[in-house]
Structure formats: structure tokens, C-alpha cells
Structure 1
Amino acid sequence: MQLFRFLFAAFLFVAVSAPAQSLKGKRLLVFSKTAGFRHASISQGKQLFLQIAASERCKVDTTEDAGFFTPEKLEPYDVVVFLSTTGDVLNAAQQSAFQEYIRSGKSFLGIHAATDTEYDWPWFNQLVGGYFKDHPKPQTASFINLDSNHPATKFWPAVFSRFEEIYNIKSLQKDRLHFVLAVDETSYTGGNMDGFHPMAWCHTFEGGRAFYTALGHHPETYSDADFRQHILGALQWLLQS
């Protein structure tokens, strides 16, 4: 019955899949500034994006300098990645520049603690889709593939197991989002989202695109082939015209 509820929920959202988009020649800015908890996996996350740059023939810059968030400096990038950012990382002028960037038709990718960021900025809540609430201890759980056609999830079976730090999410913008991955709360201890517990989603927003995945806590995750394909698929979706 629990699995049926998850699968039924998937049909409530409009399909957003399309042929894979090449990353060749695209530019990505990976931003990992932290003003709160700092994940040990950030270094491995940066390395993953540099590996993607080499294999996909795109350009990746990594920074923890919020000074990059000006209209002029953001303009060359096709995607800005928030890699486990935490806390209040942008001032008012930088926030305005990022809003302008998204409204120009560019894209945002949030990974893991990106939802533990900018709690006092309502626009960011709408962009990223929700905020981190809390989490139980990392454990193995059953994950549900809600969209077998989406490039970020199409390679996973309908149900599969992963070891992860599983975020509970608050202020979830449920009506705005297309959910592509969820976790079965009956398969582990500590879930508190009343049965439907999304773990990755995407949407179009104010002219741009946004994708968020709650996966990515552990350093070893970033050398996992499935997680790499998950991130690569998210980028392909974000870069669709």
C-alpha cells in the first residue's frame, strides 16, 4: 500500500522528460560557501564536477567567494550549483544578482545541504523548493523512482536501496514541483513527512530551471557511478532549451 501511494503521487505531476542535452561548451559555477555546518563531502563534490567537465567537455569553476554573485560575473554561466551550502551565504546585492540570473533563463542545481541555506530569503525557498528541517542518523532505506523517463533518475529501478543521510524537509513548495525521487518512510527510522517523502525534484521558475537532490551527504557518494549519473542527468535537464 505504501509503494502504491508513492507511485500514485508520481502521476499527479506533468512529465518533464526530453532527450538528453549535451553539456559540451556549457559553463558551470560550483558554489560551496558555508556559514553553518560544513560537510566533509564538499571537496569530493568539487572533484566530481571537475571530472564531469573533463568527460563532457564543459567548463567548471569552483568558488566559495560570494563576490561572484554580480550580474557581470554570473552572466557567462549556464548553471549555478549550490554544493552543500549552509546558512546565510549571500548579502542583499548578491541575492538580487542571483534573482536576475535566474530570471534571464539560467539554471540552478542544489545538492544536499543547499536546502540548509538562506532561511530568511523567501525567494530562495521558492527556487530550491523546500528547507532542511532535521534528519535521523544515516541508514539504508528504500528509494522510489517516481519518473523513469527523467534523465536524473531513468537509470534506477522502480525501487532500490541506498545508504544516506535522509533529510526531512519543511516549507516544501509541493504545488510548484515535479518530484522524481522519494524515500519509503516505512523502510527506515526517523522519517516524519506523513508518508510522501520526496528526495529529488525539479521545476521551471521565473524563466529559469531548478533541480534539487537531497542525496550527497557522504564523501564516498561522489565516486558512486549512480550518483554521478544522477547529477549528470540533472544537468542535462537543466540545460534543455
Structure 2
Amino acid sequence: MTGPTSAAAEPIRALYLSQSVGFVHETVRRPEGGLSLSEIALQDMARDSGAFTLELTQDARDITPARLAQLDVLIFSTTGALPIDRATWDAIVAWIESGRGGFVGIHSAADTSLAFEGGEAAWTAFLGGRFDGHPWTEGTPIRLSTMGPPVGLATSWPNGTRFAEEIYQYAGFDPSRVRVLQTLDMGYGPLRRPYPVPVTWIRQIGQGRLFYTNLGHTPSTWADPRFHDQIVNAIRWAGGRVTVEAAPNPEAQDASAVMAFSAAEGLPPYAGNPADIAEEIRDLQGVHPEKRDGDARAWDDARARLISRFPPASPGQPSTVVREGRLWAAPGR
């Protein structure tokens, strides 16, 4: 992440929306007469960093074209179909595309849509993916893997950081449109699935910038200095104050998909081109038994086809792996 631009003397003007039309997270719940935990944490980040000023709202109707003219960054930790109409949404997208605005999405921003016809699809295309369950429930031990050389939007979490958090998986995710910065390490923890699960990504939208991280479900995450550092850097980047490479990294994501599969299945490294099988690996998410009322036939068949394309296990290598808390036999092994 390179240094400040000439505009750095002026703090970024940020608005934090923490509206819950769907599930209400504890981090956004306001006590009577007070502010939520996440609002207080963001106020602390603004004060301690001096990088941005902060306005707070829990009503998306406060975001109007006139209000956008007074802002540099929108921060969303939201759920459900937000009361944003098509005209206002078009204004938000145009504001970002022009480079006048940026966006920071936190955790449940991926469990969000817009209250107009086609609003869910519009939001998914904008953010880069939508909530498709959270197999990694609150408190599940995870390990974060950095994708490629670390950049300033992920360096507060060194490669291999162990953590505990609720982690989403995503539908509508297109690797060709985003640059993934962090992903789950499927070689660690009690819950390992043989497909990739991104945690943090960025994308360029016209001249504007979007940052999203899955982190932020638990109060302890909002209290973590590493999370504070990441969000402050994300606001700086989305506000155009620093430069980070944002070009999509689908090749790195393909390699990560293959690594996720081999780690979860206990297999040797893949000898071929990751692009040849990465999409098949990603497709496993959609045929997991939990998506099919417990029917594991498609899941087991797809895994067996993929396993057959990896080198044979070396002598003495276990033919079973622990996944999702129980022992699984590797098909055909």
C-alpha cells in the first residue's frame, strides 16, 4: 500500500449504515439511548487514526444523492432488503464509478439486498457475492491465508493467523471480477471443506473502489486492534488516499481452490494446471449434502472424480481425513 495522495490532508468523510432489515447482529444492536458496539468502535477508529470523520445512521433512506455529495466513503454492516429505491441505487453506483465515492462492506453486508425488483441481483453483482450459509459458526477456530504478496489491506493479519469467527460462504461469486486478499486455510480447524472460501476481497468499480471482509460478526473481532487497523486502511483505500493493486487475481484464486481441495482431502499437491479443475472444485459448494437435504450422492461422486485427478498417495499417507468433526474415507483410496 503506497503512501498518501495530495488529498490526504483532509479527513475522509464516511457514513456508517448499520441497518438490520433481516437478522440483527449484536454488534449493530443499539441499547436504548445509546450507540451500538460497532458504531462506538468506528468512532474510536476515526478518533485514533485521524483518517476519517464519521456519521452514523440505521436508516438507508438517509442516503440521498444530496447526501452523497457530502461524503467520500459508505460503510455498510447491514442485513435484509434495504429501503433503497432504484433511482437512489443508480446514484450510489454512479457516485462510486466516478471516483467521488468508495465502499467498505463488513461481514453481513453480504447478507443484504435492495428493496426493488432485481435488487438482490444488483447488490450481488456490486459486492461480488452473496451470503450462502455460514458453516463456520461463531467461535469456530479458523486460520487465515493471505493470497499472494501481502498488501496494506491484509497485513494486520499475518499469513497463517489463527482466529475464531463466523465465516460465510458465497453464491454468485465470480473470481474474474475481484481480487481476493484473504481466504480460509482448509488445512486447519475442525471444519474443513474441499472448496475455497474467500474472506476478504477488493474490486475496482469504474474509478471507484470497493472493499469487503467477512470478518466482523463477533464483538471480540470489533475489539481486536488487527481488525481496527484493517478497517482504517480499507477506509483510506476506498477514499482514494492510498494505492493498492486491485486487479482481479483469478489465477491465484484457482491455485487456492486446488490447495483447499488437496488440504481438506489429505491429498498430494496437484500436478496439472489449477485452472483445469478449479471451477469443478468451486462447484462442490452447491452439491454439499446440506444443500440437498442430506443427500450425499452428488457430493461423493464429484469428490471422487476430482480425487482421481490427483497423484496417488505416497506409501504411508493416510487415506482418510478428519473433516467437519468426523472421519471421512477418501473415495477410491
> Is the TM value for this pair above 0.5?
yes
Deviations 1:77-126 (A, max 9, x none): 1100011x111102223322222221221100000000001174233222
In the alignment, what sits opposite 2:171? 170
Counterparts of residues 206-221 of structure 1 (less than 5 Å): 206-221=206-221
- Cα separation, 1, equivalents of 2:104 and 2:156: 19
Contact 1:81–1:110, Cα closer than 8 Å, also in 2:
yes
In the alignment, what sits opposite 1:112? 107
1:55 matches 2:56: no
In the alignment, what sits opposite 1:231? 231
Q: Which amino acid aligns with 2:202?
A: C
- Cα separation, 2, equivalents of 1:228 and 1:213: 12
Deviations 1:40-74 (A, max 9, x none): 01222111211122123321001012222221111
In the alignment, what sits opposite 2:39? 46
RMSD across aligned C-alpha pairs, in angstroms?
Answer: 2.0
Q: Which amino acid aligns with 2:127?
A: V
1:78 equivalent among 60, 72, 78: 72
Contact 1:148–1:154, Cα closer than 8 Å, also in 2:
no
Contact 2:49–2:232, Cα closer than 8 Å, also in 1:
no
In the alignment, what sits opposite 2:154? 153
In the alignment, what sits opposite 2:125? 126
Residue 23 of structure 1 and its aligned partner are, at CA, apart by 7.8
130-139 or 88-97, which deviates more: 88-97
TM-score by length of 2: 0.63
Q: Which amino acid aligns with 1:75?
A: A
Instruction: Give the match's secondary structure for 1:101.
Output: helix
Residue 135 of structure 1 and its aligned partner are, at CA, apart by 0.8
In the alignment, what sits opposite 1:222? 222
TM-score by length of 1: 0.85
Residue 197 of structure 1 and its aligned partner are, at CA, apart by 1.6
Instruction: Give the match's secondary structure for 1:162.
Output: strand
Once the two structures are aligned, what percentage of the paired residues are identical? 28
Greater Rg over alpha carbons, structure: 2
In the alignment, what sits opposite 1:69? 63
Deviations 1:105-150 (A, max 9, x none): 1100000000001174233222211001001222011110225442
Could you tell me which runs of 5 or more consecutive residues in structure 1 were left unpaired when the two chains were aligned.
1-16
Could you tell me which runs of 5 or more consecutive residues in structure 2 were left unpaired when the two chains were aligned.
29-35, 242-333
- Cα separation, 1, equivalents of 2:9 and 2:39: 17
- Cα separation, 2, equivalents of 1:191 and 1:95: 37
Deviations 1:152-206 (A, max 9, x none): 21233221100000111111121011111111134235565x4322100001013
Would you tell me which structure has more strand in proportion to its own residues? 1
RCO greater where, 1 or 2, for CA within 8 Å and sep 6 or more?
1
- Quick one: structure 1 residues 23 and 174, their matched pair in 2 at CA, closer, same or farther if it must change by over 3 Å? farther
Contact 1:148–1:156, Cα closer than 8 Å, also in 2:
no
Instruction: Give the match's secondary structure for 1:150.
Output: coil
- Quick one: structure 1 residues 60 and 171, their matched pair in 2 at CA, closer, same or farther if it must change by over 3 Å? same
Q: Which amino acid aligns with 2:3?
A: P
